[in-house]
Amino acid sequence: MGQLRVLWQIALRNLFASKINVIIGFIILGGTFLVVLGGSMLDSMDAAMSRSIIGSVAGHIQVYSSQSKEALALFGNMGGEAEISALDDFSKVKKTLETVPNVERVVPMGINAALVQSGNTIDLTLGELRGVLNHLRDEGESPERREKAESLKAHVRQQVEVLKADIAKARLISKASAEDAEDAAVIERVSSEAFWKEFETRPFDQMEYLENRLAPMVSDADLLYLRYAGTDLKAFQKNFDRMRIVDGAPVPDGERGFLFAKLFYEETLKLKSARRLDKIKEARDIKSKRIATDDELKRWVKENSTQTREFLLQLDGIKTRELVARLQKHLGSKETELSALLGSFFTTTDENFDARYAFFYEQVAPLLQLYRVRVGDTLSIQAFTKTGYMQSVNLKVYGTFMFEGLEKSDMAGGLNLMDLVSFRELYGYLTAEKKAEIAELKKKSGSREIAREGAEDALFGEDAKVVEASATPGLIDDSASFGDTAQALRNKELASRVYSQDEIDQGVVLSAAVMLKDPTRIQETIAEIHAAAERDKVPLKAVSWQEASGLIGQFVLMAKLILYFAVFVIFIVALVIINNAMMMATLRRVHEIGTMRAIGAQRAFVLSLVLMETVVLGLLFGGLGMLFGSGLVGWLHSVGIPAGNDALLFFFSGPRLFPSLTVGNLVAAFVIVMLVSAISTLYPALIATRVSPLRAMQAEE
């Protein structure tokens, strides 16, 4: 104990005796600081991203068919959607999973994609006009309907005038092609008084011409790539507590319906000029950007001021006059052309933007249809099934939703939701309604079911009759076809039907999210799920949320590996520097060490002394590094680190990351620093023990 005290005192005395010791100390301080800060940042990001993925779609564990050719990737992979085999009966999967003690709840789901044609501005106007004309034909005349029909006709005629002006401008720029001449002929016909006079006597014939010849001339339709998850919507909202309904209402329990992700809804379905205004406001308010100095904001302002055609096509005569009056008053202008007024209005600056943004939503937006698909509309979704043919469903849009804290994240905001029954139909598996329809068709046609191996003889043999070959269990028979009238009646019945929980559970799913009672036991629970699946002979594979989320889930792991590699490189460099510095310090102390050896100091004492000095340096400067690192992490925790882009919103689980420090970060930093310091000092210490006492007797030259 006495020797240890002497070593400690000598180490303290020599702490600042040499500049080399100070250099070594600052290397230790910087390394400790980086390990504390980097470790806490990555651990905090790991926890934040796990909240994003677990709370938005994955749950703690995902299960899917062990017969799948590819691994489950909820957020997609480099090649698109993974090829996942279906689980034929979710009720059996749920029953098996609920036998695992740590499983709290199970949510069925399947992710797929579709393309949706939303229709252009003239399509929407003509669709509304056709609906009014149908009411007039089927339910008789009424002043309100007649007035509405006349207003819509006037709107169509105004749209024709806009297209006529577009063609005239195009002719000034380039020579007209044969297609342009054909379009001009269509415009000439539908703008004539004779066309609209004939419309009074044969409205549906003229409507057909407008729909087939006029509407295709407008190219503002959106072909939407729609990524959606089919799920038990009630269970989904209950278990993923970050989900919030923003507009509209949840899909009623047991009914078919669709919910748009709010960010997807805003980005793809909102009037483009309005969306650009929103983006300018967000950039100014949140990112402190200025129109005068930011090129992207300047571009948005220019696009808004020049691209006013969508307003001209939307507004009928009455609304056009109203908007002209409002803009004249707001701008203090006597201009009568709406396009010129809109151009002036949208030429915003940092000084007038806030006032014009407020005016737009208070005075302009009420006259427009801001969204191409509105809450309450019926959305027609078409997708290719797994057997390669096109299937469609019509679903009511009940509202929009978001995941709280991830409002601006493209990754969390790109997945829409639909009911599980509709998902099964789009995916290409028989629903109860399809089975009933096919049974009715078989009954009416007198067809009989035969075995697959006897299909050739039955079809082409001597006694061949019209027959139906047996289909793969679960898959929709591609040959089944339904008339338009039957389909319309069926869609009407489906829209009002309420499905029982058994009907929702007893059917195909692609995967299921598993919520745990104790989230810290993920790997243990995965092993228990595999054991239960093997026992019940259910083909299940369970993976953690991180593995199920594909490349996104591996982001933090890759970031950790990069950080650890960087720390490794830093400390290899530090080890070399410290080693060289200690070698220099040892050579300078040859006479001091020789003298100690001459008066009786043993080699073990000299070795212990050199190592003790390193320990003291490590304790002092490593402690300072931990203190500075902890202070910076504490400050960052209080103010947060802003997410500079949409990807970081997801990884930070919100607009800011609030890093926190754990004991593990401090222990890891201390151990790494002391280990590197000790290793780098070991060789110089061994050199010091070899100093001969005779060196102490030699005079310095």
Mean pLDDT estimate for the chain: 80
Q: What is the pLDDT of residues 627-649, one digit of tens each?
A: 998 899 889 988 888 887 766 77
**Per residue, what are the HEC states of 378-401?**
EEEEEEECCCCCEEEEEEEEEEEE
Find, among 420, 423, 426, 429, the residue nearest to 471 by Cα: 429
Look at 142-146, 174-178, 285-289 and tell me which has the smallest mean pLDDT: 174-178
Find, among 194, 216, 217, 221, the residue nearest to 206 by Cα: 194
Q: Which residue has the higher pLDDT, 564 or 459?
A: 564
Number of helices and strands in the chain (H, E): 29, 14
Work out the number of other CB atoms within 10 angstroms of the CB of residue 175: 7
Q: What is the pLDDT of residues 353-376, one digit of tens each?
A: 999 999 999 999 999 889 988 899
Please give the Cα distance from 117 to 120 (Å, whole number).
9
Sorting pLDDT into bands at 50, 70 and 90, what band is 322? Answer: very high
Residue 427 pLDDT greater than 50, yes or no: yes
Please give the Cα distance from 527 to 521 (Å, whole number).
10
Looking at residue 662, what DSSP letter applies? -
**Tokens (6 digits) for 136:** 């007039």
Please give the Cα distance from 572 to 566 (Å, whole number).
10
Looking at residue 661, what DSSP letter applies? -
Residue 337 pLDDT greater than 60, yes or no: yes
Please give the radius of gyration of the chain, using alpha carbons only, rounded to the nearest integer. Answer: 36
Instruction: Cite the DSSP H helix spans in 589-662.
Output: 590-598, 603-639, 646-651
Residue 171 pLDDT greater than 80, yes or no: no
Q: Which residue has the higher pLDDT, 481 or 545?
A: 545
Work out the number of other CB atoms within 10 angstroms of the CB of residue 217: 16
Please give the Cα distance from 338 to 367 (Å, whole number).
14
Work out the number of other CB atoms within 10 angstroms of the CB of residue 185: 11
Looking at residue 71, what DSSP letter applies? -
* Residue 677 burial class via C-beta count within 10 angstroms: exposed 0-12, middle 13-18, buried 19 and up: buried
Q: What is the pLDDT of residues 479-536, one digit of tens each?
A: 344 444 455 545 555 566 889 899 899 889 999 999 999 999 999 999 999 999 999 9
Q: What proportion of the chain, given as a percentage, has pLDDT over 90?
A: 27
Q: What is the mean pLDDT of residues 441-462?
A: 58
Q: What is the mean pLDDT of residues 68-72?
A: 85
Q: What is the mean pLDDT of residues 180-193?
A: 85
User: In the chain, what are the domain boundaries?
Assistant: 2-52+554-697, 121-217, 272-306+317-370
Q: Which residue has the higher pLDDT, 5 or 259?
A: 259
Instruction: Quote the pLDDT of residue 668.
Output: 78
Helix (H) or strand (E) holding 258: strand 258-261
Instruction: Quote the pLDDT of residue 473.
Output: 38
Sorting pLDDT into bands at 50, 70 and 90, what band is 472? Answer: very low
* Residue 52 burial class via C-beta count within 10 angstroms: exposed 0-12, middle 13-18, buried 19 and up: buried
Quickly tell me which residue has 């620093």 as its tokens: 673
Look at 14-23, 116-125, 239-248, 537-546 and tell me which has the smallest mean pLDDT: 14-23
Instruction: Cite the DSSP H helix spans in 222-362.
Output: 233-239, 262-269, 272-285, 295-306, 309-314, 317-331, 338-346, 353-359
Instruction: Quote the pLDDT of residue 91.
Output: 92
Helix (H) or strand (E) holding 185: helix 178-190
Q: What is the mean pLDDT of residues 428-445?
A: 61
